[in-house]
């Protein structure tokens, strides 16, 4: 069966995304230990925005560095300072119920990651520079979320 031009483009984009997720997003500018970007959310759920840097995906435990913005206005800028040199996964949530802790609950909280919700891309932070713009788009909870337990 012959693949259309659009089909080839989709396959090429998926291959590039997979390659990028293995290689990591290389830093382009910024000061050492700094990761910054913008979080976008188009839904209606409210609560504090939590953006964190995790050493692995899926994340285990608390983020190494986290910024909490109590009353975000989207698009919302964020900065993670003092991120050690290495590869990190930047994840964000809107914590819709602060009474139950700041852990992500896929059935309740909008969430997202740099790269894509289901295929996060690592960010590389170097000794001489931080990462370039690390933007995250949040998705509302979904019954088909791969993160529901």
pLDDT score, position 9 = 34
pTM: 0.77
Highest mean pLDDT among 13-22, 26-35, 78-87: 78-87
1: helix, strand or coil: coil
Residue 139 · residue 106 · CB < 8 Å: no
Q: pLDDT by residue (tens digit) across 105-144?
A: 888 999 999 998 888 999 999 876 666 789 999 999 987 7
Residue 134 · residue 36 · CB < 8 Å: yes
Residue 95 · residue 70 · CB < 8 Å: no
Residue 109 vs residue 27, higher pLDDT: 109
pLDDT score, position 129 = 65
Structure tokens at 54: 């995790």
DSSP category for residue 99: G
pLDDT score, position 28 = 44
pLDDT score, position 12 = 35
Name the pairing type of β-strands 136-137 and 35-40: parallel
pLDDT score, position 133 = 86
All domains in the chain, ordered by first residue: 24-137 (2.60.40)
Residue 47: CB atoms within 10 A of its CB come to 17
Q: pLDDT by residue (tens digit) across 35-63?
A: 999 999 999 999 999 999 999 998 888 99
Q: pLDDT by residue (tens digit) across 71-91?
A: 999 999 999 999 999 999 999
| 98 pLDDT more than 70 | yes
């Amino acid at each position: 069966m012959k693949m259309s031009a659009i089909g080839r483009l989709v396959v090429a984009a998926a291959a590039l995304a997979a390659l990028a997720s293995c290689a990591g997003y290389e830093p382009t500018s910024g000061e050492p230990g700094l990761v910054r970007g913008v979080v976008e959310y188009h839904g209606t759920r409210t609560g504090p925005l939590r953006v964190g840097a995790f050493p692995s995906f899926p994340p285990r435990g608390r983020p190494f560095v986290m910024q909490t913005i109590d009353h975000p206005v989207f698009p919302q800028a964020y900065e993670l300072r003092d991120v050690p040199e290495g590869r990190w996964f930047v994840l964000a949530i809107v914590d819709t119920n602060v009474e139950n802790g700041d852990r992500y609950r896929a059935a309740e909280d909008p969430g997202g990651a740099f790269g894509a919700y289901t295929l996060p891309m690592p960010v590389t932070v170097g000794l001489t520079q931080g990462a370039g713009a690390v933007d995250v788009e949040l998705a509302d909870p979904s019954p088909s979320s791969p993160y529901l337990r």
